[in-house]
Copies of this chain bind each other. A is one copy, B any other.
Amino acid sequence: MARKRFDDSNCSVARALNEVGDWWSLLIVLQAMYGTRRFVDFQQELGIARNILCDRLARLVDNDVLRKVEVGEHGSRHEYRLTGKGRDLFPVVVALRQWGDKWNPAPNCDALDLRDRATGQPIREMAVQSADGKPLSIRDVFMPDTETPSKTG
């Protein structure tokens, strides 16, 4: 039967995954963060099939993660640019990247070295933090009773 979708799940993680949780969408967003904007460039840099790229770009546009901008005189060239919502995936992508760098380091690829443009200092490691900025593990937090962890929480 049809792949299960989560549009109506009462779990926002499930709904988020519905928008960017497939094999390609988050890589497209990542590529967009690197500055890629054109169809052909996405296609070549990601090595994605063109029909799949079409589908993903359209869905990301539908979901307001990217927006399609006509460039050039007669509207035959487009650019796909991140929206605010798309740019807001930055912490997600960086967290995932740091996780990958930590647990699946590639021999031929350095860990992500993002730096503060203002100071040149490397960024901090992503962490769940307390109000005063201390890193918290999953054991250091709790959910007040109003949240029920059942049914994909």
Interface residues of A (CB under 8 A from B): 3-4, 9-17, 19, 21-23, 26-27, 30-31, 33-35, 45-48, 64, 85, 87-106, 108-119, 121-124, 126-131, 133, 136-144, 146-147, 149-153
Q: With a CB–CB cut-off of 8 A, which chain B residues contact A149?
A: 34-35
The 9 closest A-B pairs by CB, nearest first: A12-B100, A16-B100, A34-B149, A121-B131, A10-B109, A116-B130, A124-B129, A92-B95, A91-B95
Q: Is the interface of A mostly helix, strand, loop or mixed?
A: loop
Closest to A21 in B: B23
Q: Are B116 and A131 in contact (CB under 8 A)?
A: yes
Closest to A10 in B: B109
Distance A11 CA – B140 CA, assembled complex (angstroms): 31
Q: Are A16 and B116 in contact (CB under 8 A)?
A: no
**Copies of the chain in the assembly:** 2
Distance A94 CA – B88 CA, assembled complex (angstroms): 13
Q: Are A150 and B45 in contact (CB under 8 A)?
A: yes
Q: With a CB–CB cut-off of 8 A, which chain B residues contact A139?
A: 117
Q: A45-B150, A118-B130, A147-B113 are in contact. Are A104 and B23 (CB under 8 A)?
A: no
Q: Are A27 and B17 in contact (CB under 8 A)?
A: yes
Closest to A111 in B: B12
Distance A92 CA – B126 CA, assembled complex (angstroms): 9
Distance A119 CA – B33 CA, assembled complex (angstroms): 36
Some 29 contacts from A to B, beta carbons below 8 A apart, are A4-B47, A10-B106, A11-B109, A12-B105, A12-B106, A13-B93, A14-B27, A21-B21, A21-B26, A30-B153, A31-B152, A47-B151, A90-B137, A91-B95, A91-B127, A113-B143, A113-B144, A115-B141, A115-B143, A116-B131, A116-B140, A116-B141, A117-B140, A118-B130, A119-B130, A122-B131, A124-B130, A124-B131, A133-B133
